[in-house]
Structure 1
């Protein structure tokens, strides 16, 4: 029986001296006290996944109370999936401008030239911490430790493979093993950071839940099972309720520490629901551009008895507005090159200039389609460059009647406006950047899903989602695009599996009749124009790790990967492709699986 355990890892918190900054309230020493900022973001929680929004299959009293006591935005929009949404929250720009157009294969990476919200607040004297999911770059300078966060405990991938054990990373990308309930661990870590940070803090708490795999402690699962829901929806709702309890505990700890009163608390989710469930009658789920796909809960609770707290705002707003709003609330200038606008005028009782709010579907490459845009009345949807849909949201929030051909010139005007803007913001030069070997403070991990398979080599899953690995790696091999300013030698370690017969799958000896996995496998690594590194991998049998899934997962399963030191690889200066291959084709199930290559710089 799965139970929630306390974290078994040691959490080290850095206590730093305070700095005097300009801000909002004068403190007793004559300085100025900035408000703290807490940004809570859940993953794949749709607009209907709250009891406040009429869902009688779920109970979320703490989220409900937070939303009701805050400035609540009834029409708040994000991107259709997680990495693009996070890039927009952090940058104040629509995600195609940042390079984060997809969710894997380095196409979720946000350009390091973006001045993130964390970097903006660092410059104002804030201590910054991120706890949970990042998903905007796995290597430096794109790692959270290179994008403005003083402290980080979480994961850089699109999802974590197990809610109850694994290996998180810190701000230097060092491993932090844990056993326990990930949702609880992230909450406790964020609370420790906030309670023990003496200077103003910016804490970004990004839960993985309710993203799959569906894993949750027994007490939540059993409570939802009694409601007669499908196992999948029961699991999702149970995960949301677990997060709700953690949010309640977190706010109680801040209140007890005397810090909540001077903390701006922001709550949001990153996209529509990850499945077909209650969503207030809105059309669309995660990954699409309709209202149910991109309209999410959002609130901002201001310190003290600000008159905006407790109000509901119906003016359309979006993820791109968070950065300018927070800077404006702090009395700081808002950069002019943002897509977002400050919501402070609304919070102060005024109005915003009418504008369109856009959403663009994720994709391996950005094309501008599918996409949508809306204002206070209309929603325009373009599934491709030749299809047009128009809805009057004031009368038809569920998008039941396409009025594009009956609305006079309105449809054509909106179509032209959408096309002009959508085609102007793509930045293909920023998409899927090379892995910079010089930027990391420590070893550089080349994860399989950050690379590209060649020939027969392929990912275990279809697209190479987070946590995936190469299989049937042979003559064609796979590669990672790398760059370095200076030539150097690297000690190379490989995480792999060779002969996976013990997983219980069918054993296929492959095309090479002479292939014998039990005696080892030759492997070759090489950077372009550099000498090859040849080594022999010992045969190993890896086991699929047991998991506490409540329903069959869509993601790859975790394994107890073998690890082997290959030797020293010389990598010349410049841009190149680091390839890994074998002299013979190995086969899918009994051949070579590659999870990760790690490079440790050594003295020449």
Structure 2
């Protein structure tokens, strides 16, 4: 065989195309075991549909290539989100659509920014991606009225993704690329790095963190109040019990809950506690208040402690018992439903306070769902292959959208490449700052893509370069290379 032929074959073997949903989904068989695709599809996506709102395909939703979105999932890159009838008040739904049509906002007024980060949410566990099992009507209302980011990427695990969001740098440039921070470990996001809330404070914003931190807790200098946030209510480790707020791993641990730098436990289901604090922040906004940046990093739907991993209000769990017949996934569905209701309550509060038209809302997961192995939350990433902790699409390509009255081309599915690192320069641009003043970043300003459907400023996504386990991955618009 000629050298030229050998090189060609090698290249074909190395390059992994991301456009085949079956290739993306089917996990590798281990230990000589065969893998039954049909059986797994039947388990994850049962034929029964919920008795809740009917699924419909939204009208006049177009892609960034000006093509009408069709109801085909033949190509994972062009998988068509569907939308369920919303549960928000009809007047608020009308406002969501009216604001983005009339652009009745002042370009001179600085806008509020709310960034909602879900934890371990599966790609197919939101109904704007076509899920018939877990209705997410409030998320769908925002997504269908805004811009769905169909090629939005994160890191494969919690800590690296949060580091990417806060710094605008790939984690392999900050030393955060290998793993998550575990209890008591003496490391964190380097203190010499300037974080997103610090940049926004310089632009006149009040900054608030609610929920999960997970960027360092062994010294006070690594906590949120020392990294640019004015207020913080939440926990510092990777997960806690939804009710007791204890972090227990391998039989050891205790309450991990802070108000600012002060340990303080608050009674209640974690999703509701974090939502209530967010509502308080919104309620305290006055006419003459500075614009707010609210970073709401939910625990949901990450599993909780080893002893009691799946937790949700009993009434919510019962809503799913009649058609979700997979062990633990009934409770997982309830956890996602509570997350969705949290978003609905926040939109309602913004509307009641007359702040909705002056607020950018971003929603994303920190990584894909984990459906097998330690800390599995039985999430579904269909039709994407892989899960959390992997560099495959199921671990890194996440559900995301943006809603704002400042969108020039709303109600569309954006196919341009985007990564969590892009949000820092994008939000600085939206807040009236100059991304060019931020220095050398891996992130790029994507506001023109999001707001107008302009081509993405990103030509490729680097998933990770990990010197510890010798893994790496990169993709452009057509191909993906996994090492």
TM surpasses 0.5: yes
**Distance in 1 between residues matched to 2:121 and 2:114, nearest whole Å:** 19
**Distance in 1 between residues matched to 2:413 and 2:106, nearest whole Å:** 30
**Distance in 1 between residues matched to 2:441 and 2:426, nearest whole Å:** 11
Matched, 1:253 2:253: no
- For 1:284, the equivalent position in structure 2 comes to 386
Matched, 1:122 2:201: yes
**Distance in 2 between residues matched to 1:188 and 1:230, nearest whole Å:** 31
**Distance in 1 between residues matched to 2:149 and 2:324, nearest whole Å:** 32
- For 1:374, the equivalent position in structure 2 comes to 475
Evaluate the alpha carbon distance shift between residue 171 and residue 128 of structure 1 in structure 2; reply closer, same or farther with a 3 A threshold.
farther
The correspondence for 1:217, drawn from 288, 313, 337, is 313
- For 1:82, the equivalent position in structure 2 comes to 158
1:107 Cα offset (Å): 7.2
Q: How does 1:514-525 map to 2 (within 5 A)?
A: none
1:308 Cα offset (Å): 2.9
Does the CA-based 8 Å contact 2:369-2:395 persist in structure 1? yes
1:354 Cα offset (Å): 5.3
1:229 Cα offset (Å): 2.4
1:295 Cα offset (Å): 0.4
1:244 Cα offset (Å): 0.6
**Distance in 2 between residues matched to 1:226 and 1:108, nearest whole Å:** 46
**Distance in 1 between residues matched to 2:241 and 2:465, nearest whole Å:** 25
- For 2:281, the equivalent position in structure 1 comes to 193
Matched, 1:98 2:98: no
Q: How does 1:344-363 map to 2 (within 5 A)?
A: 344-346=447-449, 347-353=451-457, 355-360=459-464
Secondary structure in structure 2 of the residue aligned to 1:177: coil
1:171 Cα offset (Å): 5.6
- For 2:445, the equivalent position in structure 1 comes to 342
- For 2:236, the equivalent position in structure 1 comes to 156
Aligned length: 351
- Structure 2: any 5+ residue segments left out of the alignment? 1-103, 247-254, 305-309, 373-378
- For 1:317, the equivalent position in structure 2 comes to 418
- For 1:526, the equivalent position in structure 2 comes to none
- For 1:297, the equivalent position in structure 2 comes to 399
1:353 Cα offset (Å): 4.4
**Distance in 2 between residues matched to 1:354 and 1:200, nearest whole Å:** 29
Does the CA-based 8 Å contact 1:25-1:34 persist in structure 2? no
Instruction: Report the TM-score when normalising by structure 2.
Output: 0.69
- For 1:405, the equivalent position in structure 2 comes to none
**Distance in 1 between residues matched to 2:196 and 2:163, nearest whole Å:** 10
**Distance in 2 between residues matched to 1:210 and 1:314, nearest whole Å:** 26
1:367 Cα offset (Å): 3.5
Does the CA-based 8 Å contact 2:245-2:257 persist in structure 1? no
Greater share of helix residues, 1 or 2? Answer: 2
Does the CA-based 8 Å contact 1:284-1:291 persist in structure 2? yes
Instruction: Report the TM-score when normalising by structure 1.
Output: 0.56
Secondary structure in structure 1 of the residue aligned to 2:470: coil
**Distance in 1 between residues matched to 2:334 and 2:257, nearest whole Å:** 26
Does the CA-based 8 Å contact 1:216-1:235 persist in structure 2? yes
Residue deviations 1:198-238, cap 9 Å, x none? Answer: 22100001110111121110012122222242222222211
Does the CA-based 8 Å contact 1:210-1:236 persist in structure 2? yes
Does the CA-based 8 Å contact 1:144-1:171 persist in structure 2? no
**Distance in 1 between residues matched to 2:242 and 2:430, nearest whole Å:** 38
- For 1:409, the equivalent position in structure 2 comes to none
Residue deviations 1:82-104, cap 9 Å, x none? Answer: 11001101111111222323212
Instruction: Identify the range of structure 1 (102-111 vs 125-134) with the bigger mean alpha-carbon deviation.
Output: 102-111
Q: How does 1:183-582 map to 2 (within 5 A)?
A: 183-197=271-285, 198-213=289-304, 214-275=310-371, 277-304=379-406, 306-334=407-435, 335-346=438-449, 347-353=451-457, 355-360=459-464, 366-367=467-468, 369-382=470-483
Secondary structure in structure 2 of the residue aligned to 1:332: coil
**Distance in 2 between residues matched to 1:165 and 1:327, nearest whole Å:** 33
Structure of higher CA gyration radius: 1
Does the CA-based 8 Å contact 1:39-1:265 persist in structure 2? yes
1:328 Cα offset (Å): 1.6
Secondary structure in structure 2 of the residue aligned to 1:258: coil
1:163 Cα offset (Å): 3.0
**Distance in 2 between residues matched to 1:127 and 1:86, nearest whole Å:** 20
Matched, 1:65 2:144: no
**Distance in 2 between residues matched to 1:317 and 1:377, nearest whole Å:** 14
Evaluate the alpha carbon distance shift between residue 108 and residue 249 of structure 1 in structure 2; reply closer, same or farther with a 3 A threshold.
farther
Evaluate the alpha carbon distance shift between residue 290 and residue 174 of structure 1 in structure 2; reply closer, same or farther with a 3 A threshold.
same
Q: Which structure is richer in relative contact order (CA contacts within 8 A, separation 6 or more)?
A: 2
**Distance in 2 between residues matched to 1:124 and 1:175, nearest whole Å:** 30
1:113 Cα offset (Å): 1.3
Evaluate the alpha carbon distance shift between residue 164 and residue 222 of structure 1 in structure 2; reply closer, same or farther with a 3 A threshold.
farther
Q: How does 1:19-34 map to 2 (within 5 A)?
A: 33-34=109-110
Greater share of strand residues, 1 or 2? Answer: 1
1:190 Cα offset (Å): 0.8
Evaluate the alpha carbon distance shift between residue 33 and residue 354 of structure 1 in structure 2; reply closer, same or farther with a 3 A threshold.
closer
Evaluate the alpha carbon distance shift between residue 338 and residue 256 of structure 1 in structure 2; reply closer, same or farther with a 3 A threshold.
same
**Distance in 1 between residues matched to 2:464 and 2:325, nearest whole Å:** 32
Does the CA-based 8 Å contact 2:181-2:216 persist in structure 1? no
Evaluate the alpha carbon distance shift between residue 60 and residue 26 of structure 1 in structure 2; reply closer, same or farther with a 3 A threshold.
closer
